[in-house]
Amino acid sequence: MNRISKISILLMLHFTVVSLFGQHRTDILSKTNVEQLGQIAIQFESQYQQMHDRAIEWAQRTGSPLVVVTPDGKVREIVGIDNGNPIFYGTNNLNAVKTTSTDKIQVGGSTGLDLTGNDFTIGIWDAGKVRTTHQEFELQSGGSRVTLIDTGGNFHDHSTHVAGTMIAVGISNYAKGMAIEGLLDSWNWSNDESEMAAAAADGLLLSNHSYGRMGGWSYSGSAWYWFGDININSHYCPT
């Protein structure tokens, strides 16, 4: 299990507690080890910079682009080098509301909890910026429920799609998200681990990131691409 997955699980456990026992939120935040999270953020920042520098050097040496958008809209970005081979991040997302049974705890759900995510902020890290002007993110008073923390780079449909999975209000019922009254802070995936630790130190309790390190075979457009370690095998990824 990689560090990102571990951070996600910890934040999801926090979310479960806060959602069901909202009165304890202040107590949870008061027990957050801010100093240790700050140290983790600094450590990950250093690791990210080293990996990023190696990725840039490799891309320049081989004439390869750091970021590729495939014909079917998937993003592949080189985020580091491992044993001489590039490490790729790639976007992915599933029909998450149904598969996690979130509909059962929403208003009118079978559990009777009637959760909406009101006054709760979720963080997401993804390939680019969320389109804050989407109708599903609008506030009744004007403005957006999405705040861009990383403001550089391009808007991206996958980032916006994932944001919708999290907080879309349901103007279109097919677009209804998990926390229909929640707020969302948006980062790109560069330097993600350091930023997650820093955000947790600032009080963020839940994050989502529907992307991961590429491995093995991946289908895109009309072809298959190999993301495994060619020093081990160029066609097979041993378990």
Instruction: For residue range 48-93, list pLDDT tens digits in order.
Output: 889 889 988 988 998 888 887 777 666 778 888 888 888 888 766 5
Higher pLDDT, 187 or 85: 187
pLDDT, position 70:
72
Record the tokens describing residue 46, joined without a space: 């250093």
More confident residue, 235 or 186: 186
Instruction: Please report, for the chain, the start and end positions of each structural domain, with discontinuous segments joined by +.
Output: 3-226
- Section 121-125 average pLDDT: 93
24-33, 91-100, 207-216: the lowest-pLDDT one: 91-100
* Higher-scoring residue by pLDDT: 22, 227: 227
Residue 21 pLDDT? 41
Find out whether 214 and 76 touch, Cβ atoms under 8 Å: yes
- Rounded to two decimals, the pTM is 0.67
Per-residue model confidence as pLDDT tens digits over 22-53: 445 556 566 678 888 888 888 888 888 898 89
Split at pLDDT 50, 70, 90, the class of 196 is very high
Torsions phi, psi of 224, nearest 5? -100, 140
Q: What percent of the chain has pLDDT over 90?
A: 19
pLDDT band at 156 (very low <50, low <70, confident <90, very high): confident
Position 124 confidence tier, pLDDT thresholds 50, 70, 90: very high
Task: Give the whole-angstrom CA distance, residue 18 versus residue 30.
Answer: 13
* The predicted structure's pLDDT at residue 235: 59
Is the pLDDT assigned to residue 120 strictly greater than 60? yes
Q: Which residues pair with 183 in a beta bridge?
A: 121
Q: What is the DSSP letter of 186?
A: E
User: Residue 18 burial by CB count (10 A; 0-12/13-18/19+): exposed, middle or buried?
Assistant: middle
Instruction: Answer yes or no: are the C-beta atoms of 67 and 76 closer than 8 Å.
Output: yes
